[in-house]
A and B are shown apart, each in its own frame.
Chain A
Amino acid sequence: MRIWTLAAAALLLPGLASAQGERSSWFGLAWSMASPTANSKEFTSDYSFRGIGLEWRQLRGRNSYGLSLGWNATNEETLETSSLPQIDLTGLQFRYINAYSILLAGHTYLGTSGKARPFLGIKAGTYYINRRVDVGLWTATDNSWHLGVAPELGFTVPLRQSYGSEAFYTAVRYNYALAAGDTPYQSWFAIDIGIATRR
């Protein structure tokens, strides 16, 4: 926990320090897909095409800091027998994870302005995760808040001519939400494809 916090702070600091110079704002809207891993994959293993990302960045030179809001939904449909002590249950299960994130972000950019630019980033903050199982006529849910981090890499491609202030961007982000209460840690890769505008 402490290691994760220190790592996130160390990676966010360059972006925060960059805020002291000339500023320009960057706003992005992305279609966010998800591929669950580890505990999340045990619950819902299917690749998900449902998700949205909203992001604001304050740019300065090669660095930026900002705020990221996200939603990823994964699901799985499975017919199986689940066993608990003294209880066995068979039915078609519809399982869902809805993960909402509110993260601070720091990024650093490679390459030159006006061309496709790779970037590296780290995000840290909180996740609200809803896990739900529908089986038969019944529903079981749990909701939990998690602290977490999300390193990411991606690149931006500026649009041309009259869309000179817009850019396509894509990013791959590994989300790691620490365990909270009875909910084990959750993790998934998010793949974002979006468009951004710079003012």
Chain B
Amino acid sequence: MLRNYVLWGALVGCFLSVAACYPGELDTVAQTDLVITFHKQDADFQANQTFAMPDSIVDVSVAAGADTTLTHAYDAQILLRVQQELEDMGYTRVVDTTVQTDVIVLVSAITVENYAYYTPGYPWYPYWGWWGGWGPYSSYGVGSNWYYPWYPVYTTNFTSGSLFITMIDPDVPPPDTSQGVGMAIWSAVINGMLEGTDPEILARINSSLSQAFLQSPYLAIQ
């Protein structure tokens, strides 16, 4: 009888051991990298040839009046990479802010530490808050309202970062014109855990930037 109990006890232990083994956990921070792209239905990307892009990455936390841990050390490299990707797809960057371009490309970022961010509102709203715009449109350019162009975003428990690229077409009116002119026709979100050295993080960002354009072939105009 005792041997029976030993046998059953050993079997139960083995089965529980098997059950306790749960695979598929993260091994590296790079495995947290996520690239999401959105595009407006029926947007005519072929009608666009030129784009304008500010020379700095907007810190969403600062724009919201909050503290930030975002570094701008690699703004130039990131913006150059975005420019190169767009030029590879046939677009031409116009740096003269008095010249109206077909689209505006805005790059922003946020770092998050135990911070939940929520944004209500229309998912394809323009993000205008920091952009001075061109001369004829400058009166619309600076506003107090800005939005992520998609549904609510939540993050918790660790430092993570998100880079946002938003392409706005001023010829596409938003549902509420009091919020500005133009509407986002394409957006990319690059999200991941911010751990490792700066060069490592930059390499991951560059790789994700390439992926964002790779999975958006409809942007190509050539």
* CB-CB under 8 A for A166 and B33, given A50-B21, A137-B191, A137-B192: no
Cα–Cα distance between A1 and B49 once the two chains are bound (Å): 57
Provide the residues of chain B in CB contact with A162, threshold 8 Å. 3
Provide the residues of chain A in CB contact with B22, threshold 8 Å. 50, 73
* CB-CB under 8 A for A195 and B11, given A75-B24, A96-B24: yes
Cα–Cα distance between A29 and B37 once the two chains are bound (Å): 48
Would A52 and B192 count as touching, CB distance under 8 A?
no
- Interface membership of A189, Cβ < 8 A: no
Cα–Cα distance between A52 and B20 once the two chains are bound (Å): 11
- Interface membership of A39, Cβ < 8 A: no
Would A166 and B34 count as touching, CB distance under 8 A?
no
Would B34 and A86 count as touching, CB distance under 8 A?
no
In the complex, what's the smallest C-beta–C-beta distance from A191 to chain B, in angstroms? 13
* CB-CB under 8 A for A81 and B215, given A96-B24, A195-B11: yes
Would B35 and A90 count as touching, CB distance under 8 A?
yes
Report the number of A-B residue pairs with Cβ-Cβ less than 8 Å: 80
Q: Which single member of B3, B15, B34, B216 contacts A31 (CB below 8 Å)?
A: B15
Closest to A48 in B: B23
- Interface membership of B177, Cβ < 8 A: no
Interface of A (DSSP majority class): strand
- Interface membership of B19, Cβ < 8 A: yes
For window 2-18 of B, CB contacts with A under 8 Å fall at 3-4, 7-8, 11-12, 14-15, 18
Q: Which single member of B23, B35, B41 contacts A91 (CB below 8 Å)?
A: B35
- Interface membership of B138, Cβ < 8 A: no
Would A87 and B37 count as touching, CB distance under 8 A?
yes
Cα–Cα distance between A138 and B155 once the two chains are bound (Å): 8
Would B40 and A87 count as touching, CB distance under 8 A?
no
- Per-position 1/0 for A186-199, Cβ under 8 A of B: 00000000010100
- Interface membership of A88, Cβ < 8 A: yes
Cα–Cα distance between A137 and B155 once the two chains are bound (Å): 8
- Interface membership of A49, Cβ < 8 A: yes
- Per-position 1/0 for A157-199, Cβ under 8 A of B: 0000011001000000000000000000000000000010100
For window 147-169 of B, CB contacts with A under 8 Å fall at 155, 158, 160
Would B211 and A90 count as touching, CB distance under 8 A?
yes
In the complex, what's the smallest C-beta–C-beta distance from A140 to chain B, in angstroms? 12
Tally of B interface residues using CB under 8 Å: 35
In the complex, what's the smallest C-beta–C-beta distance from A94 to chain B, in angstroms? 4
Would A138 and B34 count as touching, CB distance under 8 A?
yes
Provide the residues of chain A in CB contact with B21, threshold 8 Å. 50
Provide the residues of chain B in CB contact with A94, threshold 8 Å. 24-25
Would A86 and B14 count as touching, CB distance under 8 A?
no
Would A49 and B18 count as touching, CB distance under 8 A?
yes
Would B15 and A50 count as touching, CB distance under 8 A?
no
Cα–Cα distance between A96 and B23 once the two chains are bound (Å): 10
Would A89 and B35 count as touching, CB distance under 8 A?
yes
Would A86 and B18 count as touching, CB distance under 8 A?
no
Cα–Cα distance between A51 and B20 once the two chains are bound (Å): 10
Provide the residues of chain B in CB contact with A31, threshold 8 Å. 14-15, 18
- Interface membership of A55, Cβ < 8 A: no
Ranked nearest first, the 10 interchain pairs of A and B with the lowest CB-CB distance are: A136-B34, A91-B34, A94-B24, A90-B35, A88-B215, A92-B31, A89-B36, A88-B37, A75-B24, A81-B215
Query: Would you list 21 pairs from A and B whose C-beta atoms are within 8 A, ordered by A residue?
Result: A29-B8, A29-B11, A49-B18, A50-B19, A51-B18, A71-B19, A85-B41, A86-B41, A89-B34, A89-B35, A90-B34, A91-B35, A96-B24, A136-B32, A136-B33, A137-B32, A137-B160, A137-B192, A163-B4, A195-B7, A197-B8
